[in-house]
Amino acid sequence: MFIVTGGAGFIGSNIVRALNVQGIDEILVVDNLEDSRKFVNLRDCEIWDYMDKREFHSMLESRRFDAKVDAILHQGACSDTMEYDGRYMMENNFSYSKVLLHYAVEHRIPFVYASSAAVYGNGKSFAEKPANEKPLNVYGYSKLLFDQYVRRVMPGAESTVVGLRYFNVYGPNEAHKGRMASIVYQIYCQLKDKGIARLFQGSDGYANGEQRRDFVYVDDVVDVNLFFALGPPRKGIFNVGTGHSRSFNDVANTWISLLGFGEITYIPFPDELRGKYQSLTEADISALRRAGYEKSFTSLEKGIARYYKVFTEEGL
């Protein structure tokens, strides 16, 4: 059995679907469906069982969970970078993750979990080194703190323990994320709704709309997860991105080209984001390559074209 936490969410549901494609349906999805909109992400998937996150957490802590587990793909987290309730963030992203980690290590179960490029803050170097890790918000700090904890536990583990620092992931099943959905999705919605993509004016030395991110298509992220979960034992924390940053203008112009209409307007940079915003992300994927992952990553243009095909098939 495979356990996918956050399995009804964006990346988690895409992992479930990818496992199904490989003929695997003995999957326990763990999630919190208080936001019931997420159910649509699973309605075309085959799973063995569903469990509420709180029940699962309780069963692990009380040692009442007993099943043969092939791998744990831990995607569940609070991913809202504007969430300021530090206690809530640490309970979800740190304490819960520690319980899962220790269960996996104790039972020698491959454990692959979602970290984040948010650990790098507004730095310019993105290799997986402590000197580069300076998060700007409590979300980034919660991810960094767990990474640091994992680094201490990892040497004693006899099975796979891998953290994946996702850069700016986009693709199907992210609509429920609202304001935390990718800028790729948000620009598409703006253009479809009013024909105008609203990008930030210049900030941090970048011209209008030239803030840059490493946009990585969700299928590539899923593939990296399965590479580690299904492969031989490996340990480490790895960036997951294309290795190339692209501007928000690039995203908007790609959508405009596909849609055949639209224009860009630039809005003032929000005061509440000053000092808390990553104007550049660009993954250093050298460590990922050294770990044996050799596949190419999807370009922004090809990824958006694939995303657009999904929208048109769904009539969106």
CA 154 vs CA 57, 111, 234: distances in Å: 21, 11, 10
Q: Please identify which of the residues 103, 139, 185, 307 carries the catalytic annotation.
A: 139
Residue 177 is among the residues annotated as catalytic for this protein: yes
Catalytic site residue 139? yes
Catalytic residue (choose from 38, 53, 143, 177)? 177
Active site residues per annotation = 139, 177
